[in-house]
A = this chain, B = another copy of it.
């Protein structure tokens, strides 16, 4: 709830308007316990606000992402998914089984410092996705052993 007031103030202070559409979408993301794609957000938004359109969902998700209130991520398969911006983290996804692991941003802090000193770029990506193989899917062919 206080998060909502926080967002309201932030929007006001930046000269943007606080609309019911934005509040509804923000609340949906706050109450979600996973990443949601735009269609899922749209479907949930229909309950709270029947008139709201898909175009607005897409626009609002992009807007809230620009404002830093929402995080977006490409998780394989080209689809963008969203979540409320809380703790800074990234994702490791297994190409074989799809299992996803969350990792603390702190693990990337040193890399970002390295970027800064070697290139001057101040990187701020807070929701990067890395692909590879999880421990199980790396396992040597267990069937060969038997």
Contacts and interface: CB of A to CB of B under 8 A. Distances in A.
Interface of A: 74, 78, 80, 92, 94-95, 101, 103, 107-108, 110-111, 114-115, 118-125, 128-135, 138
A121 B135 CA distance: 6
Given A121-B94, A135-B121, A107 B103 contact: no
A125 B115 contact: no
Nearest to A137: B122
A120 B128 CA distance: 18
23 contacts: A74-B74, A92-B119, A92-B121, A94-B121, A103-B118, A107-B111, A107-B115, A110-B111, A115-B132, A120-B134, A120-B138, A121-B130, A121-B132, A121-B133, A121-B134, A122-B132, A122-B138, A123-B131, A124-B132, A124-B133, A125-B130, A125-B131, A125-B132
A106 to B, nearest CB: 11
A103 B128 contact: no
Q: What are the 9 tightest A-B residue pairs by CB atom distance, in nearest-first order?
A: A120-B135, A123-B132, A92-B121, A123-B130, A124-B132, A125-B130, A122-B133, A122-B132, A125-B131
